[in-house]
């Protein structure tokens, strides 16, 4: 897929001086990056490197953070897809979507059109009126993705989206991501699936030890690692 080379507006700007969970004990330092319209930025790094702390800071969930985050829209519009599915035991899949639509302020007609489309895309039509407590992990993850895609925001923040998805669901997810990028949405995606990230991401932020070890295009990451022809996995190994 080719995208326009015309300069694009920024939909997410992040400048984190430091952030953590306790006063005086920062977990990350000097993390700066931005995401443009239609850009997919991969946030990568070892376990415990600071990826989750970065995402929580971006969403304003940490009070012990010295940071500036700008999200496009008035009011800012973003969707968060968590790694661990979260749901209400007493609400069906459709009721979860309906509740999310109400929170997003979607018109009823638009909600039904979009929800029906997503149910079809992810092959979940037959369980629309079922309780998610009986879903497999992959089905629960699909529900999280559907809720995220429902409102068509300016920014997506997606945490480990491939966990639990079968190959078909992964393909459907990537197709939807590509459509949203063409619409102009920017995507910040944290993932450990480096072979897929190498294929789909425009740029990367590699965090190690709470700091940015390298960032930019794959060519930039290779340059930082001193491995001009290496895979993202090999660069990750060298830099962390």
The number of beta carbons lying within 10 Å of the beta carbon of residue 90 is: 8
What span, in angstroms and rounded, lies between the C-alpha atoms of 96 and 90?
10
**Is the pLDDT score of 2 beyond 60?**
no
Residue range 1-77+154-240 in CATH 3.40.50.300: yes
Model confidence, pTM: 0.90
pLDDT at residue 5 in the model: 47
pLDDT at residue 3 in the model: 45
**103-160 pLDDT, tens digit each:** 989 999 999 999 999 999 899 999 999 999 999 888 998 999 999 999 889 999 999 9
Residue 233: in which H helix or E strand, if any? helix 232-239
* pLDDT above 90 coverage of the chain, percent: 80
Q: Which residue has the tokens 């490197």?
A: 49
pLDDT at residue 6 in the model: 54
Task: Tell me which DSSP letter residue 73 carries.
Answer: B
Q: How confident is the model at residue 1 (pLDDT cuts 50, 70, 90)?
A: very low
What span, in angstroms and rounded, lies between the C-alpha atoms of 228 and 87?
44
**3-58 pLDDT, tens digit each:** 444 568 999 999 999 999 999 999 999 999 999 999 999 999 999 999 999 999 99
pLDDT at residue 187 in the model: 97
**60-111 pLDDT, tens digit each:** 999 889 999 999 988 888 999 998 889 999 999 999 999 999 998 999 999 9
Q: Which residues, including other chains, have CB under 8 Å from residue 199's CB and lie 6 or more apart?
A: none
pLDDT at residue 7 in the model: 63
Domain-by-domain residue ranges, the chain? 1-77+154-240, 89-152
């Amino acid at each position: 897929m080719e995208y326009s080379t015309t300069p694009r507006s920024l939909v997410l700007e992040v400048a984190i001086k430091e952030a953590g969970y306790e006063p005086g004990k920062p977990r990350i330092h000097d993390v700066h990056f931005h995401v443009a319209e239609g850009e997919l930025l991969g946030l990568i790094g070892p376990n415990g490197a600071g990826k989750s702390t970065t995402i929580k800071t971006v969403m304003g969930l940490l009070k012990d953070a010295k940071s500036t985050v700008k999200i496009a829209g008035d009011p800012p519009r973003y969707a968060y897809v968590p790694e661990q599915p979260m749901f209400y035991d007493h609400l069906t899949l459709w009721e979860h979507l309906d509740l999310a639509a109400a929170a997003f302020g979607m018109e009823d007609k638009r909600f039904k059109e979009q929800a029906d489309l997503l149910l079809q895309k992810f092959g979940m039509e037959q369980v629309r009126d079922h309780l998610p407590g009986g879903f497999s992990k992959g089905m629960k993850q699909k529900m999280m993705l559907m809720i995220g895609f429902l409102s068509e925001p300016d920014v997506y923040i997606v945490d480990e989206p491939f966990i639990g998805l079968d190959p078909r669901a992964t393909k459907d997810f990537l197709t939807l991501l590509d459509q949203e990028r063409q619409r102009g949405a920017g995507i910040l995606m944290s993932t450990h699936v480096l072979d897929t990230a190498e294929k789909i991401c425009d740029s990367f932020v590699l965090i190690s030890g709470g700091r940015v070890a390298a960032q930019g295009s794959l060519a930039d990451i290779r340059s930082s690692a001193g491995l001009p022809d290496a895979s993202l996995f090999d660069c990750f190994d060298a830099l962390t």
